[in-house]
Every structure is written in structure tokens, then in C-alpha cells.
Chains A and B, each alone.
Chain A
């Protein structure tokens, strides 16, 4: 039985007309396949392994416990000793979590940059340049941190540093050539697929949901 709001003529017309909605380009098979291969080749590297996710969760509980303990403690000396004994593990995990947050944020920024840079003029360039400078500071801190002991993460951070330097120096009066060069460079170095491969697909706390 036809419902009150159904209108076969409209639906027929709509189906025909809506084919023009976001009409796809021809599939760029080769380009995408190359990036998929490269990303998969680089995949094993800097993601948090499953056991590390548990370790992060355990560390979070431990840190919370220590926090509560410190807050309620009547014996501060003993508590400090306990905290010191767990400090190196917490520190490594903290760097891993910070790295994941940073990578997620940078991925969203570069995705947005590539999509939006051409469409909003000089104000947009200035905004992206400012954001890139902020991320660049974090990138350099990450490069100097123990997280960069991992050679592949270090290599990714160096690629990101280069891209962010270029974006941070964007001239608001640019004619589009600079941004084309930046996006071409991003595509050639596969920086976004590498970045995505480095972000673990784990449970919410590990993926740092809400960091963006």
C-alpha cells in the first residue's frame, strides 16, 4: 500500500536527476594501487601492537591508581617510590600515545589541506599556514623525543616536517602554484597513506578519539 508521502512521479524523476550528484571521475586505478602497495609495505612499523594496547590501558589504570593514591595518601614516601618504579614504562607509553594523537591530528590537517586549500582564498592559506606552524613545533618536539628512536617513525616525522614547513611558508597571495607543488610532493612521497598506516585501528582510547 502506498504511503501518504510517496509520490511515484517524483521518485522516478528524482532517481534520474540524482545521477548527476557527485558524478565520479574515471577510477584512477594505477595511482591508487601504487599507493596501496606502498602503504602496505610500510605498514608493520609504528603501529601499536595489540599487546601494547593492553599495556596502554594497564598504564592508564596504573596512572589513575597512583593519582588517586597520591591524593589520598597518608604515606607519601612509599607512594613516590612506587611511582618511580613504574616511571620508565609509563614514559614510553605516554610517548606512544602522544605520537598517536599527533599523527591523527596531522592526518586530519593534511587531508583537510589537500581538500580545501584551493577553495577559500588568501584567508584560508593564512589559516593553514598558522596551523602548520603549530604542528611543526610538535613535529620537532616529537623528533627530539624518545618516540623518534623508531627509525621508521623518524622517517615519517621528517617527511611531515618537510610538508609542514612548506605549508607554514605559504604566501597568502599565492597563485595556486605553491599549493600544487605541495600537494604533488605529498602524493609523490605517499605521506598521507604512510601516516594513515601509522595510526593504529584500535579501541577508542588508543585511537585517541576526540583528539581531533
Chain B
């Protein structure tokens, strides 16, 4: 059974088809949510929310683009909105709180390359980080990223280029790793 038939069966209320559609896509959705959130509980929450929304709104899926593209648009919306909400909450609590800073990782010298790379990626502006993670880490094309984020392909390419440039500056101490 191809995907369009599966989607038609989901629309008709077939719960087995819902599960089959979920099985076909959940790994990629969860991977992207985890890569962006960096936390298993949040990644699970975002994945669940993505599928709940997708099943609820399947009636509005017209099939102009691939289902996976449509689903990843929902995923990025859910994840980015969710992360903003958590960040706002943590920030507000940090503003209200005393000297204990909640949710902001301590900044200290980190000799380990992977930890420095992680920190550098975390510090990228949201748009740059999202494009970088989707393209360089998860292997999405610029076309897929453009549709998912609602931006032009050229914007995705430009953001990736700027993200890499910022990372190169942030990791300049480790230049010997790639200049060989």
C-alpha cells in the first residue's frame, strides 16, 4: 500500500493505518526533535505533539508536497515553539530568582572539543542553529528545510553559511583538527 492510500485510510478512521503512518515517520521526527531539544523528555513531548497535530489536521493535507515534508513542517513548528516557551519560562524564573541561575549552562573553559562544539552550536542564533542541525547533522536538503521553516531555499543556504562561519570562529582554537 502506498502512502497516499495509507493517508486515505487514516482519514477514514482506520486506527491500524494511523499506527502504520506513525511507524513510517516517527524515527525521523523524534531524531529531529531530539537533535534540536537535546533532551529525551522534551523530544518525546514534541514528537507526540507533532503526531497529535498531524492526525488532527490530516484533512488539510492536500498532497501538494510529500507527507514527510508536511510532517516536518509541523515538527519544526512544534519544536521551536516549545523550546521558546521553555526558554521564556526559564528566563522569567531566572529573572525573578536569586543568584542561582536556572537553565543557563555555566560558561567555563572547556578543553574538550566535542563539548566546545556543542556549546558553540547551542550558542548559535535560533535560525542558524535550526538550519545547521537540519542540514549538516540530520541531512535535510535546503529545499526540505525551506518548506519546513517557511523560508526561501536561498535563505536556508545563507543561514547555513553564516552558521558555519560562526562555528569556525568559535572553534578557532581547534583549527589544527581540520587544517592538516
A residues whose Cβ falls under 8 Å from a Cβ of B:
3, 5-7, 9-15, 17-22, 24-25, 27-29, 31-33, 35-36, 39-40, 43, 108-109, 111-112, 114-116, 120, 123-124, 127, 131, 192-193, 196-197, 201, 212
Contact = CB atoms under 8 A, between A and B. Distances in A.
Contacts of B86: 108, 111-112, 115
Interface string B54-78: 0110000000000000000000000
B137 A19 contact: yes
B177 interface: yes
Nearest to A29: B26
Given A17-B177, A35-B44, 16 more contacts: A5-B161, A6-B164, A7-B168, A7-B178, A11-B164, A17-B114, A22-B34, A33-B19, A33-B26, A39-B48, A108-B86, A115-B86, A116-B90, A120-B102, A127-B97, A212-B89
Given A22-B34, A32-B48, A116-B102, A9 B22 contact: no
B136 A15 contact: yes
Contacts of A7: 168, 178
B44 A32 contact: yes
B17 interface: no
A111 B178 contact: no
Interface in B95-141: 97, 100, 102-103, 113-114, 117-118, 121, 132-133, 136-137
Contacts of A112: 86, 89-90, 93, 103
Size class of B's contact patch? 35 or more
A9 B180 CA distance: 9
B42 A115 contact: yes
From B40, B44, B132, B133, residue with most partner A Cβ within 10 Å: B44
Interface of B: 19, 22-23, 26-27, 30-31, 34-45, 47-49, 51-53, 55-56, 82, 85-86, 88-90, 92-93, 97, 100, 102-103, 113-114, 117-118, 121, 132-133, 136-137, 161, 164-165, 167-168, 177-180
A55 B165 CA distance: 50
A43 B52 contact: yes
A32 B179 CA distance: 44
A45 B138 CA distance: 37
A116 to B, nearest CB: 6
